[in-house]
Structure 1
Amino acid sequence: MYKNIIALFVLFAFFGCKESTNNEDSNDTKIDTLKQVENKEIEPTKPEETEIWEPKPPKVNLGENKVPSDAIVLFNGKNMDEWIVAEDSTDAKWILNKDGSMTVNSGSGTLQTKRNFGSIQLHLEWKSPSEILGEGQSRANSGVFIQQRYEVQILDNNDNDTYVNGQVGAIYKQSIPAVNAAVPTGEWNSYDIIFHAPEFDTDGEKIKSGTMTVLHNGVLIQDHFEILGAVAYIGWPTNEPHGKAPLQLQDHNDGSKPSFRNIWVRELKN
């Protein structure tokens, strides 16, 4: 009888410890998740127990054209000092306009930033010519390439149908935009792009896909799309390992030349 009582006592002690451990694990999980409650083993009962006061986010001011103070201005309408020709690294040869924009100079080459970028927030504004020239993929065709390989299409699709994974706002040949939010031909469009770069292991295998979110004139058209790989005009996307790389603005070398203005970028953590 005495042995039975001892055995029961041991069992109760064991399960009591196990339950206590489980509760502690649960509390630790809550604390880790909230990250506001320190040295607490019970559910918070006061508002201040879940309030965080430090560290304070840095202040960002908005300057001319609402450019954030922590942004890198890539084109402010005064010069093309941040750009070179992608094909030969010579000085940019696009047309600088009096209104603070620049226009594709057909045949002069795609523009490429002198700087390399990883994950970014990118803002740019573009417009097609008021005079309608060309059709299909030959009407104000350009594109913004992130890391030289992931393209958001620029095209005048007003009354101008083309394949939908190559229309305005498409992640070229990979993702159709949710809607066409383009303004009338000849007016200024804006793109706001959030890009998180892909990750590769030491063997060059992709371990995490890059993602793209795109707002066209403030309208969400690409929602955290997982990029399949580098764009390909013919064939399937490829995934060669890479690190930070330049941005590019395409010279499609046709008669209908788009213009650009107010281009800036903020570097993000991946």
Structure 2
Amino acid sequence: MPATASALLTAALLVAPPTLASTNEEGFLTLFNGSNLDEWIIPEGDNGHWKIVDGVIDYDAMSEAKGEKHLFSRREFGDFTLKLEWRIKDTPYINPNVAYVLPDGTHARGIDGKPLKLALPDSDSGVYLRDRKGKSQVNIWCWPIGSGEVYGYRMDASLPPEVRAGVTPKHQADRPVGEWNEFEITLVGDRLTVILNGVTVIEHAQLPGIPRRGPIALQHHGSVNRETGKFNSSPSLVQFRNIRIKPLD
């Protein structure tokens, strides 16, 4: 093998993450082992805001990265079932623009014809599915509609009504702030099913145009005033644990 090719191979082996470890669940592989973030790409310049605390991934919504602040998986996936637990730690920000979402995914309007807005304590994160831009994000937040919806598709007025209704949760299955929740997310082709705490909130919803393969990401959300320490929008004050994935393709 030429020296240059040998050097490239050695470099690739050093950069490539190790083989994913199996879990006790048949076919599932671990994406977080409770002790390090080897399977994840920490944003450049993050400065320690995505970290491990007591065996869980902890985020304070204050990443100092100049570009993307989300935590992306090193690997890309096609069809899969993803299981993970998450909890919102706190809700210090009052969101004045929480929508009253109807079952068809549209927003309720008042007698003046304008969309109703609710002011509620809110923290906001989510899980990106094969998507670096976030349109196929499964939401984690405090809206009355509940976590598990796919905001990017629900709010896309160019999509057919049945698509927007399909990504709107049929149940509010979130546990109270501070308690752990579990997602089971299955994505096959462009069809998505989300089970939250044992309740199917999204079933066989279509995500037109979703990439065929891509990474998983844990979302950063919210901006903060560095001088006052107060948040300007709903922050990702979240923790994650027990992240495992079962490739289906």
| The two structures share one fold, judged by TM-score above 0.5 | yes
Closer, same or farther: CA 221–71 of 1 in aligned 2, 3 Å: same
Number of the residue aligned with 1:227? 207
TM-score using structure 2 length: 0.62
Please identify which structure carries the higher helix content: 1
| Pairs within 5 Å for 1:1-270 | 63=24, 68-85=25-42, 88=44, 93-98=49-54, 100-108=55-63, 109-129=69-89, 131-136=90-95, 139-148=122-131, 149=134, 150-157=136-143, 161=144, 164=145, 167-172=146-151, 173-174=153-154, 175-197=167-189, 210-229=190-209, 242-254=211-223, 255=231, 256=235, 257-269=237-249
| Partner Cα distance (2:49, 2:38) in 1 | 11
Asked if structure 2 preserves the Cα contact closer than 8 Å seen for 1:144 and 1:250, the reply is yes
Cα shift readout 1:78-101 (whole Å, capped 9, x = no counterpart): 111100036x59898512111x21
Structure 1 residue identity aligned to 2:130: Q
| Partner Cα distance (2:71, 2:47) in 1 | 9
Q: Which structure 2 residue ranges, 5 or more long, are not aligned? A: 1-21, 64-68, 99-120, 155-166, 224-230
Which of 1 and 2 has higher RCO (CA within 8 Å, sep 6+)?
Answer: 2
Asked if structure 2 preserves the Cα contact closer than 8 Å seen for 1:111 and 1:250, the reply is yes
Asked if structure 2 preserves the Cα contact closer than 8 Å seen for 1:105 and 1:251, the reply is no
Please identify which structure carries the higher strand content: 2
1:168 deviation in Å?
A: 1.6
Cα shift readout 1:74-124 (whole Å, capped 9, x = no counterpart): 1122111100036x59898512111x2111242421000000100000001
| Partner Cα distance (1:216, 1:89) in 2 | 33
1:191 deviation in Å?
A: 0.4
Q: Secondary structure at the match of 1:126?
A: strand
| Partner Cα distance (1:132, 1:72) in 2 | 32
Cα shift readout 1:154-177 (whole Å, capped 9, x = no counterpart): 0023xxx4xx4xx52111242210
Q: Which structure 1 residue ranges, 5 or more long, are not aligned? A: 1-60, 198-209, 231-241
TM-score using structure 1 length: 0.57
CA RMSD in angstroms comes to 2.5
1:229 deviation in Å?
A: 3.8
Structure 2 residue identity aligned to 1:154: I
Count of aligned pairs between the two proteins: 172
| Partner Cα distance (1:243, 1:228) in 2 | 11
